[in-house]
Chains A and B, each alone.
Chain A
């Protein structure tokens, strides 16, 4: 069975600090990878996704993620966070041509202004 591990449950950063959130998955086959974000009081929204091709994926709001197949990782990065990035971030994996998403437990990011 697939599983997703997110390394940190809570992260606190000051504005302008760099962000990296770790995500590792367990599945031996081809996968599609996603990062979702949930801002306070809002529903889950897609930040970025990786299906194939360039392993460095750029998403909305200056976020990017790098797929490293050999490490089964899909870490999320942002060079300079803003207060408005305060949210919960979820990594998710889906086996290629599959239907269900398997989510990690989430990382709560708080950005101090």
Chain B
């Protein structure tokens, strides 16, 4: 169990640029989640995948945001035309529907985005 990994860990970009983040979940986990965390707040849910299907999206996920999980393994989160308000920590989590820890979400270290 190598845990959830995220890349890059830090990203600095200029307003208007596009950015893409990657999440590799725990290998046997079929469920994957994206959250966003801003300073002084808890994580806020963005979207959820079961295998390759995106089953739930938050209203926070504007049309500039898109997430994919093409083969049901890793996932990418892309933000187009970044704005300063997009600056946040983007967290990925995964879970399995089986086993002793079923439905427990394991979090990755996050990608910290700074939009200048």
Residues of A participating in the B interface, judged by any CB pair closer than 8 Å: 4, 9, 32, 36, 42-46, 49, 51, 90, 92, 99-106
Among candidates B33, B41, B110, residue contacting A100 with C-beta atoms closer than 8 Å: B33
Residues of B participating in the A interface, judged by any CB pair closer than 8 Å: 4, 31, 33, 35, 40-45, 48, 55-56, 58, 91, 103-110
Contacts A99-B33, A99-B55, A99-B56 hold; do A44 and B91 have CB atoms under 8 A apart?
Answer: yes
Is B45 a contact partner of A106 (Cβ separation < 8 A)? no
- 26 pairs, A vs B, C-beta closer than 8 Å: A4-B42, A9-B40, A36-B107, A42-B109, A43-B91, A43-B107, A43-B110, A44-B43, A44-B107, A46-B105, A49-B104, A99-B48, A100-B33, A100-B48, A101-B33, A101-B43, A101-B45, A102-B45, A103-B42, A103-B44, A104-B42, A105-B40, A105-B42, A106-B40, A106-B41, A106-B42
Contacts A43-B107, A44-B91, A44-B107 hold; do A100 and B42 have CB atoms under 8 A apart?
Answer: no
